[in-house]
Structure 1
Amino acid sequence: MIIETKKIFKLFVIAGLGSLGIQSCESEANNLGEQFFASGAATGETQSYDVVAYNLNNNDTIQSDASRISQATLGAFAEDNFGMQKSSYVTQLRLSSYNPDFGTNAKVDSVVLELKPIYASDSATTSTDEDYIFTGNVAAKKVVTTYPIQKYGNNKSLTLKVDEVNDFLYSTEKKYYSNQKVALGVNLATVPLNGKVSSVSITSDADSKELLSRTVGVRIPLDAQYFQDKIVNKQGATELKDAASFIRYIKGIRLSVVENDGYIFRFTPNDTSIKMYYTYDTTSNGTTTKTSAVYQFDLGSSNTHFNQIDYNRTSAYSTALANIDATNGDERLYLQGMGGAGAVLRIPATEIQKIKNLYKNENIGILSAKIRLYTDDSVWNKSYAKPSNFLVKYANLNDFLDDVSAMSLSSSYSLVKTSDLTSNPAYYDITITQTLKNIIEKEAENKDLEINVGDYLKSTQGTLLGQKYNTRAYAPQRIVLVGSKTANQNKVKLNIIYAKK
């Protein structure tokens, strides 16, 4: 029985471990070949190899237009490793209908910008006013449900500004990067943010009829006179007759925060809207009355929008990025989303040759191959959430790793596994089993790997959409990892598990 198992195992190794080796990479030994270990027909061994790891300077810039930000960011956050990162949001706006008729003697009462931040839906608090009086002296019940905004950074107060943009923003076909600046016009709002979002429901006491319903969001009052002058008083003017004229007339708005330290939050840009509440005269039987109306502006997907991201770097970060050692590696790796730095990982040719010698001389089969990166708890022991995942690709290419291409449909496959991320230090394991096997067994090119903070996006069927479809442009997380040019016992290593006769 042992002889037969050995024969099977030998064929299994020589033919290549194939998809089974990738599919079962979740356990420490990847579950691959467990039968051989259990029967005693094969022995499993582990070995570590050096990896060169160095910082990748992304020049604090990333494409941040609508094609990259299904979620946008807003806010500012500063800490002592990376410095300050501050995100603003720029967008066009359009009329919901052109050549609008606002009626006779139209008068703007109020204008409200509505934002839809990502919030903690499991942390709701509810307040109820049973004696609320609605418009028209209607007895009603008012229920306000409040949720905390999901924040990255410190729980400090922020002040939100909304300003007119004076630069033409072209069309959604134009690429915008996070270092794009825009000229500003008049200020439309400066309001405090309390870090919370709310929904409102008002129902009549008499028949429980819903009188008002507002979905979860933040409502920001804008300058009503601006819209009176620029919109309502322009009724019938050429500026309001078509989209091309309007986006050159009112070019857009920018949302930003006053402070340089607080938190960064995310919101869904295509759900952003501006509502203008106004009245106009209605005459019937010689009697003139004021009629209320609402006009909604379009800030959704038909508009150009992008994140503008500014930095004020610490000397430690600037020094590290100015002195990258691509030959021997760096002491620390500074990884940051939203255009911050990434890292490059290289398995030296000498280490690859050692593994090839094992494969040739001892007939090994690689069961697992993972690059382990530890957080550097000497400088990063913060309570801020660590990145839960990394983007991993071949350097200077837009191709997925062989592992991802082979196993993208497997529910058991994980490109990056982590330890408990609340602990310090924590570690990340990047699975490269198939990639390494192809190098060792098929003489595939030993390509450098590039990692950045972010997650890959998937379709509704669970398949990866492509290398460029990811969250990096709006991932506010950052982390300092132990590099390779160090005596630290937690420096970057390639850990493999292999089996032989």
Structure 2
Amino acid sequence: MRRLFKALKYVSLFLLIAFAIVACDKEYNSIDSEVLGEENTNFNASKTEFKILAYNKKLDSLQINNLGSSLLGFYNDPIYGETTASLITQITPTTTNPDFGTGTVIDSVILNIPYYSRATGEVNDESIPIYTISDSIFGNESAPIKLTIYRNNYFLRDFNPNSETNTAQNYYSNASNADKANNYAITENSIINFDDHKGEVIYESNASGYKPSEKAIVLVTGSGDTEAKTASVPALRINLAEDDDKKAYWMSTIIAKQDQPELSNSNNFINYFRGLYFKTEAINADGQMIMLNTSSTDSKITIYYSKDSTVSGETTQATYVLSFTGNKVNPFINTYSQNLQNGDRTIGDEKLYLKGTEGSMAVVDLFNGLVNCEESNTQDTALECFKKTYRQLNEDNYILKSGESIEEINGVEYITKNGNFVLKRLINEAQLVIYEDEENVSVDDETHEFDRIYAYDITNNQPTLDYLFDATDNTANPEFSKFVSLGVRTKYEDTDGEHYKYKIRITEHLNSILVRDSTNTKLGLVLSNNVNTTSNSNILESNDIVTGVPAASVLSPRGTVLHGNNDNVIDNRKMKLEIYSTEQKE
């Protein structure tokens, strides 16, 4: 909670009050003024619940290319089981037609890909910043992984040759493939085994494996009185030319191609050197997974070399840089202990499984099914009853005001003004209340401390209106960003002990349905590492209403389990749609 209040100090007083209303564990007891007394107010306050349906959606064939970030390593989720993530990436020259000079000798070839890190605000004895990468590590932080980097010989296309409109070529996950030793991806008409296209080994971790370090990268220039140190963020940093054989490899592969077609332009180079394949494996069935910032401008390979100087007998140093700005594919190998399945769309599911890296999500159908609507004393769909309850009907005693008119829909006369429906009840707050399944997620399990549930509009593959209106952005620490619309994981107590729940605000979503007659789109629920990221990952040839998922959920190796809302769930754990409203007294 200390971190939460630290985040709150950066928002305005209004948002602080809004958060207190939305995220407070105490339920609404009275919206009426305790100063004036209920008899002196001119409105009534109420809380209502509407019927919803929530079910599981098994995910596969997810877009895994160009996601902005990349996972690398091994993670054993205590609920779902094992995931191994590898990376295939193109490298492109930052300059073409280079002149490497004469007498050229390679000094080192440095691969650098930053981790996601945060400065702690402290420095060490040499005034170098201290960083933490704990937000980007999943699994056993003390356990190394086996890392092998191969030259990749599979050509990653920019465009789909089967498309008539030159759309981008996407690559999709095939993580459940029975072959757990190799990394696969699929396209519209092919299955790719990247291990069939691996070339020579460029780097291989030693017997003790590879383990990320959170120390700053320190570069020293000069010596004595002119010595200077500069620090950069923690990164996967490897010298790819640490011996004579490796230096000879880069000499023949890059330097010797001066004045050749391979270095004349980027297309030629990418066809010649098709990229790198970072393959990871567990060591003794253990390891860790790290999030790489592959979109950073500091993600690059720098060739440091010496060449003859214009001054006879002397040499000068120079560099040649290869960037990671080309295509990237992030394949997964899943060995899940849970048998993930599509859920029951008629009665909903008892448990909802949220898991990234080709796992599972939940679909929420608001106002599902038929209800006995008190407002009209008829049996209606839950959606029609919702509209009748909150919109102003053309009742016998209603007198049209200036600018108002009557619009009939399905035999019901509603009052409209300027194209919008007039409301007789104002929604002050509407939220999905979602309870964590304590049979699968222990209240003492700290790995779920900062879990965030991201809700999105399935039909349009975009954030909810409440998300877009939510000004509580925190770019430095996404764990506490958008906490009005996407409430943080909150502990509460009842007669059964301690539990956790989430609150997802959908006030604007419902108001848009009522006032502007927007479509009642289904909502998707996924687990997200970074709720600031709203880009999408497509699903290959989806025959379902779910055609894409947030890219951040694909890159979320962790998973959780929630209570659904079918009849097998006890009432005080069922997912609920709660609406708090006010209505003018007659």
Shift of 1:166: 0.6
Q: How does 1:127-206 map to 2 (within 5 A)?
A: 128=126, 147-150=131-134, 151-155=137-141, 156-171=143-158, 173-179=168-174, 180=185, 181=192, 182=194, 183-191=197-205, 192-197=209-214, 198-202=216-220, 206=224
Shift of 1:456: 4.1
The equivalent position to 1:495 in structure 2, one of 552, 571, 578, is: 578
CA distance in 2, matches of 1:154, 1:220: 22
Q: In structure 1, what is the equivalent of residue 437 of structure 2?
A: 376
Does residue 295 (structure 1) correspond to residue 314 (structure 2)? The answer is no
Tell me which amino acid in the other structure corresponds to 1:164.
Answer: R
Q: Residue 245 of structure 1 aligns to a residue in which SS? A: helix
Check the 8 A contact 1:201/1:210 in 2, yes or no.
Answer: no
Tell me which amino acid in the other structure corresponds to 1:63.
Answer: Q
Distance 1:210 1:338, change over 3 A: farther
Q: In structure 1, what is the equivalent of residue 460 of structure 2?
A: 397
Check the 8 A contact 2:455/2:526 in 1, yes or no.
Answer: yes
The equivalent position to 2:369 in structure 1, one of 349, 362, 377, is: 349
Does residue 221 (structure 1) correspond to residue 239 (structure 2)? The answer is yes
Q: In structure 2, what is the equivalent of residue 333 of structure 1?
A: 352
The equivalent position to 1:234 in structure 2, one of 236, 251, 257, is: 257
Does residue 277 (structure 1) correspond to residue 304 (structure 2)? The answer is yes
Distance 1:114 1:50, change over 3 A: same
Q: Residue 573 of structure 2 aligns to a residue in which SS? A: coil
Check the 8 A contact 1:123/1:148 in 2, yes or no.
Answer: no
Check the 8 A contact 1:145/1:200 in 2, yes or no.
Answer: no
Distance 1:32 1:118, change over 3 A: farther
Deviations for 1:85-128, whole angstroms, at most 9, x for unmatched residues?
22222211122322322222323232111121012421866355
Does residue 308 (structure 1) correspond to residue 331 (structure 2)? The answer is yes
CA distance in 2, matches of 1:25, 1:147: 30
Q: How does 1:93-104 map to 2 (within 5 A)?
A: 93-104=91-102
Q: In structure 1, what is the equivalent of residue 398 of structure 2?
A: none
Moved more, 88-97 or 290-299: 290-299
Q: TM-score, normalised by structure 2?
A: 0.66
Check the 8 A contact 1:92/1:251 in 2, yes or no.
Answer: yes
Distance 1:402 1:127, change over 3 A: closer
> Identity over the aligned pairs, expressed in percent?
23
Q: Residue 250 of structure 2 aligns to a residue in which SS? A: helix
Superposed CA RMSD: 3.7
Check the 8 A contact 2:463/2:534 in 1, yes or no.
Answer: no
Check the 8 A contact 1:336/1:342 in 2, yes or no.
Answer: yes
Q: Residue 104 of structure 1 aligns to a residue in which SS? A: coil
CA distance in 1, matches of 2:488, 2:117: 25
Distance 1:358 1:298, change over 3 A: closer
CA distance in 2, matches of 1:120, 1:104: 43
Deviations for 1:118-146, whole angstroms, at most 9, x for unmatched residues?
12421866355xxxxxxxxxxxxxx7655
Check the 8 A contact 2:80/2:336 in 1, yes or no.
Answer: yes
Distance 1:493 1:165, change over 3 A: same
The equivalent position to 1:483 in structure 2, one of 564, 570, 576, is: 564
Shift of 1:330: 1.4
Tell me which amino acid in the other structure corresponds to 2:171.
Answer: Y
Q: Residue 27 of structure 1 aligns to a residue in which SS? A: helix
Tell me which amino acid in the other structure corresponds to 1:158.
Answer: I
Shift of 1:383: 2.1
Moved more, 251-260 or 173-182: 173-182
Q: In structure 1, what is the equivalent of residue 507 of structure 2?
A: 433
Check the 8 A contact 2:138/2:290 in 1, yes or no.
Answer: yes
Distance 1:36 1:124, change over 3 A: closer
Distance 1:438 1:33, change over 3 A: farther
The equivalent position to 2:527 in structure 1, one of 453, 456, 465, is: 453
Q: Residue 62 of structure 1 aligns to a residue in which SS? A: coil
CA distance in 2, matches of 1:458, 1:262: 29
Q: Residue 331 of structure 2 aligns to a residue in which SS? A: strand
Tell me which amino acid in the other structure corresponds to 2:279.
Answer: S
Check the 8 A contact 1:386/1:478 in 2, yes or no.
Answer: no
Shift of 1:201: 5.0
Aligned length: 446
Check the 8 A contact 2:104/2:306 in 1, yes or no.
Answer: yes
Tell me which amino acid in the other structure corresponds to 1:374.
Answer: Y
Q: In structure 2, what is the equivalent of residue 414 of structure 1?
A: 484
Distance 1:75 1:224, change over 3 A: same
Q: Residue 270 of structure 2 aligns to a residue in which SS? A: helix
Shift of 1:27: 0.7
Shift of 1:45: 3.2
The equivalent position to 1:76 in structure 2, one of 74, 77, 87, is: 74
Tell me which amino acid in the other structure corresponds to 1:104.
Answer: T
Shift of 1:312: 1.4
CA distance in 2, matches of 1:211, 1:442: 63
CA distance in 1, matches of 2:248, 2:30: 70
Check the 8 A contact 1:75/1:262 in 2, yes or no.
Answer: yes
Structure 2: which 5+ runs fail to align? Answer: 1-13, 160-167, 175-184, 186-191, 241-245, 372-381, 396-423, 474-481, 536-547
Check the 8 A contact 1:32/1:367 in 2, yes or no.
Answer: no
Distance 1:477 1:118, change over 3 A: same
Tell me which amino acid in the other structure corresponds to 2:133.
Answer: I
Q: In structure 2, what is the equivalent of residue 27 of structure 1?
A: 21
Check the 8 A contact 1:371/1:493 in 2, yes or no.
Answer: yes
CA distance in 2, matches of 1:100, 1:53: 59
